[in-house]
A and B are shown apart, each in its own frame.
Chain A
């Protein structure tokens, strides 16, 4: 008994301290204020119009497939641009992203993930596809054959930055995964994007597009507000005009 008493006291103190700390943490969390970055990526560059000629497996892929390298809507909204908030950590433990070989195209064409996360690869086409991933430095990360529809294969994204997907049996197929440790989103068909739960502060946005390159844009996020951003991209990646509201 004499031995156990001091231990019991420590245990009680630790429990009390734990409860107090939890309370403080919850209070801080409840009181935390975050903002939203919402915006649109636009470009004056015309979208791709001419379809790509299919050179193999016409019976499955068709005579042509649409060129999706630059998708621009009627108002100049640029799809498939990756907007990254530099320095704002991306959440971990997300489910695998899914890339489907569908109509002899990678669907979705552009996605974001984190280094170390999983990518699931599948096919809807009754033809051999390969999903060959390359890191930014040109290293081959993996190359899996998906010889039949309905099969799903999972791999880990072992590189950081832009990961390029190609199909070695259908040379026009292109896909991109931005494996980023920072929060990132892909612009929608109208070029819009929205990033919530951003702590107040000044950030640099990095905007990447497969054809138009990379642009940077500074943005200041206020508490409990929506910071509107518009980014116009030129082929060089240069931002020709931008506006924060």
Chain B
């Protein structure tokens, strides 16, 4: 008779050897996306994608895939990594298991495609066009975000902090309000500090292809003269700022562009300015907490600057992110200053803390 230890080892060896013997599987393996979803996802997420099942076996409330604001904003890469590795990799519940050992990438892609169909309104742009936010270039994809963007001049102590609140409206729209606070230090003795010119804006996605290679949006902002002109905190006039925004997926890289006019409504001598920003970047993984590297070309009329930058998701859920960069004048340098820039971003619809 074998003792406990030896018997256990024998059983383990015997059991493991049986793993090497092909098992005759007579069951029919689901092959179509619908069959796969029904067999492997519907138990928790429900046949109709609502997450409402007759007998719930998990303690968390599954996502409602029929809610387009849930199903569309994240890129395929996020869905892939969660399906393959399980919920915790992106701060979601550990009750979402990983299927990566069981399913191939094609099967996972097919499942994502099927899950996206639960959103019955095709006008919602897919999250594959939801690129990482550059520091200056406005992104074309609408967001639910709060962004704090500080910039500090390198040569003097001028500081500007802009708080931007963005909220999606419907499938393609977004409204935003932007509140700047700034401290100007014209010399080493005097300084003026206070509210700058507050802006109200709106954005609308004009075109987003289903292949997720390009997105175009139009936006308009109205900058109001809330800052003191005499203290150098505001422009002293209302400014209309229409802009065109675009985003392109180029293999592993993204290209985002912004063309904006700043048109003063009244005020003699105020000239219209042309703002153009181009950002090229790359995310280093599909995780929401991934690092991103990018460089922006920032132009204001004949002044041109380059802004190399790094971005990092600060939480597993991606709800918090930060970016750092330096704006380096390259053309008309005498009329520009080098600036340290960045942002802290909060996607307030996503949970900051990872699920247990």
Contacts and interface: CB of A to CB of B under 8 A. Distances in A.
Bound pair: A and B? yes
Interface of A: 36, 55-56, 83, 91, 94-98, 111-112, 120, 122, 126, 128, 130-132, 138, 140, 142-153, 168-171, 183, 185-186, 193-197
A192 B274 CA distance: 85
B8 A95 contact: no
A195 B86 contact: no
A94 B9 contact: yes
A185 B103 CA distance: 35
Classify chain B: how many residues form its interface, as a range: 35 or more
**Most chain-A CB neighbours within 10 Å: which of B1, B29, B94?**
B94
Given A96-B16, A197-B5, 8 more contacts: A55-B55, A96-B12, A120-B15, A143-B95, A143-B96, A144-B102, A147-B99, A148-B29
A209 B37 CA distance: 38
A193 B6 CA distance: 12
Interface string B15-59: 110010011010101000000000110011000000000010110
Contact of B98 (A36, A138, A145): A145
B97 A126 contact: no
A196 B19 CA distance: 28
A95 B16 contact: yes
A207 to B, nearest CB: 13
A151 B100 CA distance: 12
A91 to B, nearest CB: 8
A153 B102 contact: yes
B4 A185 contact: yes
A148 B16 contact: no
Contacts of A143: 86-87, 94-98
Contacts of A171: 57
22 contacts: A83-B4, A95-B16, A120-B19, A122-B19, A128-B39, A140-B88, A140-B94, A142-B98, A143-B96, A143-B98, A144-B86, A144-B98, A145-B102, A147-B40, A147-B102, A147-B103, A148-B27, A153-B101, A171-B57, A195-B4, A196-B3, A196-B4
B90 to A, nearest CB: 14
Contacts of A148: 25, 27, 29, 102
B44 to A, nearest CB: 7
A120 B16 contact: yes
B27 A144 contact: no
B300 interface: no
Contacts of A138: 356
Contacts of A140: 88, 94, 356
A144 B101 contact: yes
Contact of B97 (A91, A145, A149, A197): A145
Nearest to B58: A168
Contacts of A151: 101-102
A159 B95 CA distance: 19
Interface of B: 1, 3-6, 8-9, 12-13, 15-16, 19, 22-23, 25, 27, 29, 39-40, 43-44, 55, 57-58, 86-88, 94-99, 101-103, 356
Given A144-B97, A144-B98, A149-B25, A169 B19 contact: no
Contacts of B15: 97-98, 120
A197 B4 CA distance: 11
Contact of B55 (A56, A128, A144, A195): A56
A195 B9 CA distance: 13
B57 A98 contact: no
A152 B97 contact: no
A142 B101 CA distance: 12
B99 A132 contact: no
Contacts of A170: 57
A145 B6 contact: no
B293 to A, nearest CB: 32
A171 B59 CA distance: 10
**Most chain-A CB neighbours within 10 Å: which of B39, B96, B97, B103?**
B97
A26 to B, nearest CB: 23
**Most chain-A CB neighbours within 10 Å: which of B9, B22, B95?**
B95
B85 to A, nearest CB: 10
A91 B58 CA distance: 37
B15 to A, nearest CB: 4
Nearest to A56: B55
Sort A-B residue pairs by CB-CB distance and give the 6 closest, nearest first: A185-B4, A140-B94, A150-B23, A126-B27, A98-B15, A196-B3
A97 B9 CA distance: 9
Nearest to A83: B4
A128 B4 contact: no
B87 to A, nearest CB: 8
A95 B5 contact: no
Contact of B3 (A146, A149, A195): A195
Contacts of B102: 144-148, 151, 153
Contact of A98 (B16, B58, B94): B16
A143 B100 CA distance: 11
A133 to B, nearest CB: 10
A55 to B, nearest CB: 5
Contacts of B94: 132, 140, 143
B8 A185 contact: yes
A186 B57 contact: no
A237 B335 CA distance: 80
Contacts of B6: 196
A153 B43 CA distance: 21
Contacts of B4: 83, 185-186, 193-196
A132 B97 contact: yes
